[in-house]
Amino acid sequence: MNFKIKKEYLFKHLNYVIKGISNKNIRPILNCIKFDLEKDGLYLSSTDNEIAIKTFIDKKYIEENYTCGKFVVFGKYIYEIIRKLPNEIISIEEVMNSKIFISTTNSSFSLNCNNVDEFPSLELEENKNPIILSNKVLKNIFNQTAFAASTSETRPAITGINFKIKNNILECTATDSYRLAKKTIILDESVKEDINIIIPTKNLIELSKMFSDDEEQVEIHIFNNKVIFKFETIIMLSRLINGTYPDVSKLIPTEFLLKITINMNEFYSLLDRVSLFSTEEEKNTIKLECVDNTVTVKSDIPEIGNVVEKIEVQKNNKENIKIAFSSKYMMDAIKVIDSENIELSFNGEIKPIIIKNPEDENLTQLIVPIKTY
Amino acid sequence: MNFKIKKEYLFKHLNYVIKGISNKNIRPILNCIKFDLEKDGLYLSSTDNEIAIKTFIDKKYIEENYTCGKFVVFGKYIYEIIRKLPNEIISIEEVMNSKIFISTTNSSFSLNCNNVDEFPSLELEENKNPIILSNKVLKNIFNQTAFAASTSETRPAITGINFKIKNNILECTATDSYRLAKKTIILDESVKEDINIIIPTKNLIELSKMFSDDEEQVEIHIFNNKVIFKFETIIMLSRLINGTYPDVSKLIPTEFLLKITINMNEFYSLLDRVSLFSTEEEKNTIKLECVDNTVTVKSDIPEIGNVVEKIEVQKNNKENIKIAFSSKYMMDAIKVIDSENIELSFNGEIKPIIIKNPEDENLTQLIVPIKTY
């Protein structure tokens, strides 16, 4: 096998498949990238058994007169070599003794290869009726929910994002059991069978890093134990998390004692200052009190000092509220809302706080209060 | 004591004194900033006993009708509070029970104070004949030498930068005993007595962060056990390192077997690629060979692969050389040279390599080769 290709084309695609490699893997073959040069072009693939990525470079990007073949090579090394080479034509050639030889005018690298037959087969089959969403919509879903997923392995089910589809309604939920973020999307077509799967959060973050800035359609093929995303020249597989996702539908109330509307930027800066006097050991607890149209937010560390902040708000009625919560969770929630105002809804000091963009019904966030008053 | 000041003025100066605080200090008073409001303006100071910083805000930046006084407050908290407040007029007031009260329209903070009398006196006296250098020249000295200083505490003397002055010649040297960087500066005036001091590298790095982008004169007052830098409204004291700095004058040869001139950017990229096949455990060793006008640089990790790079160079004679050295040290050395070409000088495979900018006699760098051939 030998071929020549411009650095930028090869590097663009190595940037995709490098995300399928976890460097912690003790099986060397799972730290490798497979090169498969066929008549129609070059296929690159990688897998760490939890995730698999395959991408394709059309033969029009490859210099003429190549000979087909396959090899499997250390992902980290081929990636760094190509990254550091100048943007010239790079020649890659398989030589005897399972080695490849990478060269430009002044540089020559020799890299040992692994056995092609040991590379796992990726099983990237398709489904008849994939769900189709744009990369922008998917990226937005991940940005607005992933941060709320649990990072503790004690309950694996909630370390992922739950994708639930009934008819044409997709609900994506993430929670760590102290807070929750739920995004609802209306699909163009209804599904025939209900879907309820859990996708590992970190795989979805890697996926969204591969999306280009242009709007592109993403096909989502769902199977029993895996999900496959197809877009541009890329196929990505993610294993699913086994287990039952908690039923969160009853957690989110539809009626509230009090709704307040606050300027988002001002409230975020206020929280940032109040959080100075909250500590991780105390769950970043801060106290909020709403009397008439004034919200007062307080916090203190007895040996250091205290802070009291005030902000004017709009209310939907004359109720008042006194409640404590994590400043970090509230700031995380606000950060993903893109709007001038946010709406906080309360049902009392021991009931969850609901955070919304008043102009967007599709994103609902919830924070469980902390009992201190 | 009470006064009002615009956030930006106070924050600019807190940014200086915060550098005098090491958060690791077990004596709480050394984590504090002293505020001293006098008739002429506000003095802020901090010290961790190794370094001391004092800065001054003229009364013209302070709102009228203030009352003088002093307090000592946790540096980290007052810094973060002022940083996070909007750019408004901030009111600071001393209240009973050794507390200060910081407020703007909507925010109020109360901070506990420490005893003013416990704050160390800083002894920032002046010398009759300070050395005067511009901040740009000093910054350049630090950038071009500091990286070569030792970070190991086994030989404290070489963790600092050596400042040696004889007549009007200032020589600044840093070494970790495997490499060396020496910068020479001609002073406007000669010193009466020779100077030979060692200043802790980290203090000089903090100092250079305080320099503004405008050209300013820096007065350097040297004493037996300390050095004091005065510039703009700032005074910084640094303790000196006790001990004798190694005499490096005989290390740098004046005659060479061979000098080669190489394009700097191309050589740096080449080293960056070759370093991929060098490891920290093996001291990042790479091998260079110069035959005729071609330099070949090689490296290998047997289980992974190898690299061979070639580059055309100019030579001052027909000698050839074969030598091994640390790719990291060579890259560090080249990084601080701002020139199209660099000059490497050799006296054989076990003699130091000298690195220079061919157009600048004032910076000399040395790397000890590694015996492998």
For residue A359, give how far its alpha carbon lies from the nearest alpha carbon of chain B (Å).
Answer: 27
> Is there a contact between B110 and A84 if contact means CB atoms under 8 Å apart?
no
The end-to-end CA distance of chain A, in Å, is 72
d(CA A221, CA A237): 9
pTM of the model: 0.93
For residue B108, give how far its alpha carbon lies from the nearest alpha carbon of chain A (Å).
Answer: 5
Q: What is the residue whose two structure tokens read 């801060």?
A: A286
Interior CA angle at B62 toward B61 and B66, to 5°?
160
d(CA B82, CA B61): 16
For residue A162, give how far its alpha carbon lies from the nearest alpha carbon of chain B (Å).
Answer: 37
A235 forms beta bridges with A54, A230
> Is there a contact between A84 and B307 if contact means CB atoms under 8 Å apart?
no
Q: What is the residue whose two structure tokens read 């897998």?
A: A47
Among A17, A12, A13, smallest CA distance to A30 is for A17
Q: Please state the φ and ψ torsions of residue A250, each to the nearest 5 degrees.
A: -85, -10
> Is there a contact between B307 and A108 if contact means CB atoms under 8 Å apart?
yes
d(CA B163, CA B137): 14
> Is there a contact between A309 and B84 if contact means CB atoms under 8 Å apart?
no
> Is there a contact between B306 and A86 if contact means CB atoms under 8 Å apart?
no
Burial-class residue A24 by CB neighbours within 10 Å (0-12, 13-18, 19+): exposed
Mutate to test the interface with B, among A31, A71, A110 (most CBs of B within 10 A): A110
- What are A89's two structure tokens? 């034509």
pLDDT at residue B96, as a whole number: 80
- What are B88's two structure tokens? 């408004």
Among A23, A51, A27, smallest CA distance to A240 is for A51
Among A202, A115, A199, A188, smallest CA distance to A151 is for A202
DSSP string, B255-291: --SEEEEEEHHHHHHHHHHHGGG--GGGTTEEEEEEE
Q: Please state the φ and ψ torsions of residue B354, each to the nearest 5 degrees.
A: -105, 130
In contact, B262 and B344? CB cutoff 8 Å: yes
d(CA A352, CA A331): 16
Size of interface A-B (CB pairs under 8 A): 80
| Per-residue pLDDT tens digits of chain A, which is 373 residues long | 999 999 999 999 999 999 999 777 788 899 999 999 999 999 999 999 899 999 999 999 999 999 999 999 999 999 999 999 999 999 999 998 799 999 999 999 999 999 999 999 998 988 888 999 999 999 999 999 999 999 999 999 999 999 999 999 999 999 999 999 999 999 999 999 999 999 999 999 999 999 999 999 999 999 999 999 999 999 999 999 999 999 998 899 999 999 999 999 999 999 999 999 999 999 999 999 999 999 999 999 999 999 999 999 999 999 999 999 999 999 999 999 999 999 999 999 999 999 999 999 999 999 999 998 5
* Closest residue, chain A, to B109 (C-alpha): A307
DSSP state of A38: E
d(CA B373, CA B363): 29
Write down the ipTM of this complex.
0.91
How would you classify the pairing of strands B41-47 and B89-95? unpaired
Nearest to B107 among A81, A99, A309 (CB): A309
Summary count for chain B: helices (H), strands (E): 6, 25
pLDDT confidence of B97, banded at 50, 70, 90?
confident
Nearest to B84 among A74, A107, A276 (CB): A276
Chain B positions touching A295 (Cβ under 8 A) are none
d(CA A278, CA A274): 7
